[in-house]
């Protein structure tokens, strides 16, 4: 790299987002860590130091917040080279039990939030004629019982990725998605042993993935050598997208 590149990562304070942040820092990027979690965001800043990272508390569902985020990054660092849309929430339930509020909240964060981030990134990257966008989707877009809101949001993220690859390709901007499956995060650690054992048993690999497994694919997609890859969805799920292992 001729200059230190600037990467913006949402949902950066813990889990997969934290792993992505650490990997990009290790690869020489300066990371703007975006999250609504003040406490863990400050811990991230303490861990890596101001020479490698800054923390930006941002509600990605809020248009003005997102616009101000990118205006601030551009003013201070003069470019936005990579955007990783990782922030997401779940509100699982069978559809006959799911509230409109739980549907809306998941769509707002997982899809609208990613769309707002992509729109601002696209405006900047189109002008600078370079950039990488990586959207963290999920294997769940293929369908999971009890996740009509979450699965729909992640299917939307994959469709968004494909559209933006078409729209931004001629401006030297690549857009790809990563679809994790069962990953060892604070969320999965909160599941009961019985539920977790069943999920692991359905894996062809009979094990969970690690946040680093996702981070490694993100690092691959933002590397200079992979510019010709765009519009793709890469599964990081131990083969689960092929079918259950039992």
Number of structural domains (the chain) is 1
- Cβ pair 221, 234 in contact under 8 A: yes
Q: Is residue 117 domain-resident?
A: yes
Residue 237 lies in a domain: no
Specify if 151 maps to a domain.
Answer: yes
Cα–Cα nearest to 8, from 88, 118, 102, 170: 118
Domain of 21 in residue numbering reads as: 6-232
Catalytic residue ranges? 150
Burial of 155 per CB tally in 10 Å (0-12, 13-18, 19+): middle
pLDDT in 10s for each residue of the chain, 246 residues: 457 999 999 999 999 999 999 999 999 999 999 999 999 999 999 999 999 999 999 999 999 999 999 999 999 999 999 999 999 999 999 999 999 999 999 999 999 999 999 999 999 999 999 999 999 999 999 988 999 999 999 999 999 999 999 999 999 999 999 999 999 988 788 778 888 898 898 888 899 999 999 999 999 999 999 999 999 999 999 998 887 555
Residues in the chain, how many?
246
195 is a domain residue: yes
32 inside domain: yes
Distance CA 151, CA 40 (A): 27
Q: Are 24 and 219 in contact (CB under 8 A)?
A: yes
With respect to residue 135, please indicate whether it lies within any of the assigned structural domains.
yes
Q: What is the pTM of this model?
A: 0.95
Domain membership of residue 167 (yes or no) is yes
Is residue 242 situated within a structural domain? no
CATH number at residue 143: 3.40.50.720
For every residue of 63-106, DSSP letters joined together read: HHHHHHHHHHHHHHHS---EEEE-------B-TTT--HHHHHHH
């Amino acid at each position: 790299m001729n200059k230190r590149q600037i990467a913006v990562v949402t949902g950066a304070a813990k889990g997969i987002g934290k792993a992505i942040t650490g990997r990009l820092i290790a690869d020489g990027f300066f990371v703007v860590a975006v999250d609504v979690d003040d406490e863990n965001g400050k811990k991230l800043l303490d861990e890596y130091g101001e020479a490698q990272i800054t923390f930006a508390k941002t509600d990605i569902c809020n248009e003005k917040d997102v616009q101000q985020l990118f205006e601030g990054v551009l003013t201070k660092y003069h470019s936005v080279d990579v955007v990783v849309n990782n922030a997401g929430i779940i509100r699982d339930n069978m559809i006959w039990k799911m509230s409109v509020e739980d549907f809306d909240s998941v769509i707002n964060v997982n899809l609208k939030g990613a769309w707002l981030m992509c729109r601002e990134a696209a405006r900047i990257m189109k002008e600078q004629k370079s950039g990488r966008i990586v959207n963290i989707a999920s294997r769940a877009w293929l369908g999971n019982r009890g996740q009509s809101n979450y699965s729909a949001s992640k299917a939307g993220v994959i469709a968004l990725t494909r559209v933006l690859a078409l729209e931004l390709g001629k401006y030297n901007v690549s857009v790809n998605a990563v679809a994790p499956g069962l990953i060892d995060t604070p969320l999965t650690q909160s599941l009961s042993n019985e539920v977790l054992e069943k999920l692991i048993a359905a894996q062809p690999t009979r094990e969970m993935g690690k946040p680093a497994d996702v981070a490694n694919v993100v690092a691959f997609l933002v590397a200079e050598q992979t510019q010709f890859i765009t519009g793709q969805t890469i599964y990081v799920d131990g083969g689960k997208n092929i079918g259950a292992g039992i």
